[in-house]
Amino acid sequence: MEDWLEQNLVPLAERLSPCAHCVREANTERDVNLPGARAVIAVFKGFLSVFYPGCFGFGPIRGADCMDRFRSRLRELAHSLHDQCTRAYRYAGRADAEGVSKETVTGLLASLPEIRDVLQQDIRAAYEGDPAARSTMEVVMSYPAIIAITAHRIAHELYLRGVPLIPRIVSEYAHSKTGIDIHPGAKIGPGFFIDHGTGVVIGETCSIGSHVKLYQGVTLGALSFEKDEDGNLIKGIKRHPDVEDNVVIYAGATILGGKTVIGHDSVIGGNVWLIHSVPPHSKVYNRTPKPIIQSRRDAPLD
């Protein structure tokens, strides 16, 4: 019964398998193993347990051996991340992949207390900025923005250290879970809050100051993409706007362009389209349309 399958399976496997082109231990033609998305996501979830013990399905670390168990968790995360970073650096052609991976992981671990402190400011901003929030723990446990922002704080640190692939894996995992798309290259200050969240897009070269609040559907994107003489996109240039401190951007607003700056203490209204800078303390909104209100008695029959 299985002959029909076996006859086709051998040539199919030879055509599809990377083993036909490289060493058996590798899964790419560059003779290296890629980072595993599942393993990278597991590391990110582990960092959630470090920042928010007892939340997100992780039990609290308690008892007389609390500190030993906490160190053990950090050690496990460090070894796993080191393995994934080494694979990423090797894929990028770094001859010193293992050494630079150790430096990266050591640097990230050293930055964790600062990241945790910034996240606490983000949580406080969410609690103080949403009258529906009953406690900071409710914010941590139920607000999708916390997952997205936590992922970004970690991914951004790895991005700054030049880690290939992994920052995008982390950010796109958060995107898939929350509907919030933040490129790991974006610079975001403390006290950042995204209310509701779904549909928010923040581009790679965007810079956001302190105590900024966004609502759902906000896009901080590129106005256009410059190309070289051969028609290829030019990468590494400023394409996305800057948002200064204490700015509120309401639902559906679209702000585009690398030269666009939203001045501090400004308010951008819902569904506004902006491709030019606005000075500090601005209030930008669309002209309010006049709704047509008709009595149902007078309404024409369908």
DSSP string across 103-125? HHHHHHHHHHHHHHHHHHHHHHH
Is the residue at 4 inside a domain? Answer: no
Go through the chain and tell me how many residues it has: 302
Statement to judge: residues 146 and 81 lie in one domain: yes
Question: Does residue 101 belong to any structural domain of this protein?
Answer: yes
pLDDT digits (tens, 9 = 90+) for 40-59: 999 999 999 889 988 876 66
Record the pTM.
0.86
Mark whether 30 and 84 lie in a shared domain.
Answer: yes
**Helix, strand, coil % in the chain, rounded to nearest 5:** 40, 10, 45
- Is 283 within a domain? yes
| Range(s) of the domain holding residue 171 | 26-181
Structure tokens at 13: 């496997």
The pLDDT tens digits of the residues spanning 181-230 come to 999 999 999 999 999 989 999 999 999 999 999 999 999 999 877 777 77
Spatial CA neighbour of 111 closest among 54, 57, 51? 51
Could you tell me if 170 and 203 lie in one domain?
no
> For residue 137, what are the CA distances in angstroms to 34, 52, 55?
37, 10, 9
User: Do residues 172 and 210 both lie within one domain?
Assistant: no
For residue 121, which phi and psi values (nearest 5 degrees)?
-70, -35
Q: Do 44 and 148 share a domain, yes or no?
A: yes
* CATH number where 86 lies: 1.10.3130.10
Q: Do 169 and 49 reside in the same domain of the chain?
A: yes
Asked whether residue 60 carries a pLDDT value surpassing 70, the answer given is no
Do the beta carbons of residue 39 and residue 81 sit within 8 Å?
no
Is 302 within the bounds of a domain?
Answer: no
The pLDDT tens digits of the residues spanning 147-173 come to 999 999 999 999 999 999 999 999 999
Could you tell me which residues come within 8 angstroms of residue 283 by beta carbon, excluding any fewer than 6 positions away? 266, 267, 269
- CA pair distance 71, 286, nearest whole angstrom: 54
Judge whether residue 16 has pLDDT over 80: no
Three-class SS state of 151: helix
| Number of domains composing the chain | 2
User: What residues contact residue 53 under an 8 Å CB cut-off, 6+ apart?
Assistant: 60, 61
- Are 51 and 142 within one domain? yes
CATH code where residue 247 lies: 2.160.10.10
